[in-house]
């Protein structure tokens, strides 16, 4: 039996009269700009995460977008679309949840999209402007942990399963600390972190054997 991926605390699991709509933006950027080695698997990692969350995580194709080697304008356009779509979902009475996944190059101050960049402070602001009750950012890149140094940053590899439908906020799951490098492998044809995360979400991380994999369990399994 396939486990249900519980992206947030039982927000996804609790019986509630409030419908939940989940949205996803999955970004794979192999190009880190001049002077950086081109990655091989960032785009396929993003596609695999999008596929899995579509199958097991309740993110339908109508609410999912995959960007491969985007420029900054592409990213901003998708964020703007998410703002509109999520605002419409909430206006219709639904609870909205967002997952942002990024695989690619980054440095100590931001994500690198070819010759463009998105500073971590800008990324936080963009996400905070999306009107979802829960926003989860998964960053599989070097130095991604530096985002927790921005004002108000929290490193929260977790939403514990409970019976609440009032959980809200923002969390960042990162593949590396502020001064670490993330790695990919030809043997597994992907990044170590994302490969482990996918394995965990498919069921290996279900430590409680309850048929549900929370992000807490998946992150602890992968990291």
- Mean model confidence pLDDT for the chain: 76
* pLDDT for position 36: 85
Mean pLDDT of 121-132: 94
* pLDDT for position 38: 87
Mean pLDDT of 35-56: 90
pLDDT tens profile 91-105:
999 999 999 999 998
Most confident of 120-129, 171-180, 197-206: 120-129
* pLDDT for position 185: 52
* pLDDT for position 217: 74
* Full 3-state SS string of the chain: CCCEEECCCHHHCCCCCCCEEEEEEEEEECCCCCCCCCCCCHHHHHHHHHHHHHHCCCCCHHHEEEEECCCHHHHHHHHHHHHHHHHHHHHCCCEEEEEEEEEECECCCEEEECCEEEEHHHHHHHHHHCCCCEEEEEEECCCHHHHHHCCCCCECCCCCCCCCCCCCEEEEEECCCCCCCCCEECCCCEEHHHHHHHHHHHHHCCCCCCCEEEHHHHHHHHC
Confidence of residue 169 (pLDDT cuts 50, 70, 90): confident
The residues spanned by each domain of the chain are: 4-222
What does pTM read for this prediction?
0.78
Mean pLDDT of 60-85: 97
Query: What's the CATH fold of domain 4-222?
Result: Rossmann fold (3.40.50)
């Amino acid at each position: 039996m396939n486990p249900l991926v519980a992206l947030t605390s039982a927000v996804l699991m609790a019986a509630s009269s409030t419908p939940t709509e989940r949205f996803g933006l999955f970004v794979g950027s192999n190009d880190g700009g001049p002077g950086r080695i081109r990655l091989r698997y960032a785009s396929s990692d993003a596609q695999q995460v999008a596929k899995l969350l579509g199958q097991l995580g309740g993110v339908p194709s109508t609410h999912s977008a995959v960007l491969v080697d985007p420029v900054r304008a592409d990213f901003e356009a998708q964020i703007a679309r998410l703002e509109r779509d999520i605002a419409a979902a909430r206006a219709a009475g639904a609870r909205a949840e967002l997952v942002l996944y990024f695989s690619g190059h980054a440095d100590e101050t931001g994500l690198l999209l070819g010759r463009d960049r998105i500073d971590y402070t800008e990324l936080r602001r963009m996400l905070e402007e999306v009107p979802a009750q829960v926003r989860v950012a998964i960053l599989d890149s070097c130095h991604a942990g530096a985002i927790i140094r921005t004002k108000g940053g929290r490193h929260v590899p977790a939403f514990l399963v409970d019976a609440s439908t009032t959980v809200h906020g923002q969390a960042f799951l990162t593949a590396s600390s502020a001064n670490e490098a993330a790695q990919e492998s030809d043997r597994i044809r992907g990044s170590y972190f994302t490969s482990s995360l996918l394995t965990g979400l498919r069921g290996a991380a279900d430590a409680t054997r309850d048929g549900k994999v929370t992000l807490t369990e998946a992150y602890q399994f992968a990291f």
